[in-house]
Amino acid sequence: MSKVKVSTLWFSGCAGCHMSLLDIDEVLIDLAGRIELCNSPITDLKVFPEGGVDVTLIEGAIANEEQLHLVKEAREKSKILIAFGDCAVTGNVPGLRNGLQTDTLIEDIYGKGVTTNGNLPYDVVPRLLDRVRPVHEVVPVEYFLHGCPPPPGVIAKTILALLDGKTPELVGEDLKFG
């Protein structure tokens, strides 16, 4: 049986969700035999494999133009998208800048008080979106893993259910934010 292809992406989040993914203990050994981890911060591979993947886990909110582009690509190249953790599901901490003027924010951080080079860094970093958005506001999402980060048990049972061709049962405490 060919291995199930899984990608993980890391947008505006703290990497805590990826750490929680690595925290599923012995399930990792089981997964190692059943999945092929493709592009992911863990493998450091940057592009989707030809033909796409079965499942992509997305950590983090959509905050800049590069992430907007990548999340759309992820949608095209994944059979199943999972919003992975509170930032991806709600905007969470990165979303706190919503309601502030993004241009002012960039000037405040990179412009004012910078004496050597006052240029705004648009040519080297992706331009910020006006608003930080949860993943499902940009592309359709199949499953939502709540939590900051999602508990390892919830991650494990979700991935294992998908590998068995079942719908993950996310109920009760599984849906706890924070």
- Name the strands in the sheet holding 53-59, side by side, starting at the edge strand that comes first in the sequence: 35-37, 4-10, 53-59, 78-84, 143-145
Q: How far apart are CA 118 and CA 139, in angstroms?
A: 36
Stretch that binds other proteins, among 51-59, 70-78, 105-113, 170-178 (CB under 8 A): 170-178
20-59 mask for other proteins (x: CB under 8 A)?
Answer: ----------------------------------------
Q: Which of 1, 29, 124, 171 binds other proteins (CB under 8 A)?
A: 171
Stretch that binds other proteins, among 17-25, 104-112, 120-128, 167-175 (CB under 8 A): 167-175
CB atoms under 10 Å from CB of 73, counted, come to 16
Q: How far from 176 is each of 17, 22, 24, CA to CA, in Å?
A: 15, 20, 18
Q: Does 77 bind other proteins (CB under 8 A)?
A: no
Q: Residue 54: enclosing H or E segment and its boundaries?
A: strand 53-59
What residues numbered 88-147 form the site for other proteins, per CB under 8 A?
89-93, 95-96, 98-99, 131, 134, 136-137, 141, 143-144, 146
